[in-house]
Amino acid sequence: MGNDDSQPRQGYAIFIDTLFEGRVPLWRDGDNKPCFYETQNEAEREIAEDLIQRLQDFLKGEREFEEAMTVEEFILPVDRLPDGSVVTEDGGRFH
């Protein structure tokens, strides 16, 4: 059976804490909706790939070491709603 897109789907999203907005999804898709990952491992791999890119930028002299090494992203379980927004376990909804 196929996916029922009218029901919330459980998965993961990558967040970052910001000074002014607080916790927000870090990456967005082509429709400007929070990126959604089916598994925690998929989200972890996205963070790892981004870290590798930052380290490569450092090695090329395009980024400072501390900026390359700092990982501020974190993963939270979310429900993705039919409109593409995600809801965290504490009820935070992000469009």
Question: What mean pLDDT, rounded, does the chain reach?
Answer: 93
What is the arithmetic mean of pLDDT over 23-29?
95
Q: What is the pTM of this model?
A: 0.87
Handedness of CA 37, 43, 45, 46 (dihedral sign): positive
Contact 16, 26 (CB under 8 A): yes
Q: Which residue has the tokens 């935070």?
A: 92
Please give the single-letter amino acid code of residue 74.
Answer: F
Report residue 1's pLDDT band, with 50, 70 and 90 as the boundaries.
very low
Tell me: pLDDT of 4 over 70: no
The pLDDT tens digits for 50-74 are: 999 999 999 999 999 999 998 899 9
Residue 34: count other Cβ atoms within 10 Å of its Cβ.
20
Contact 56, 50 (CB under 8 A): no
Delimit the domains of the chain by residue range: 9-17+28-85
> Which tokens belong to 79?
């429900």
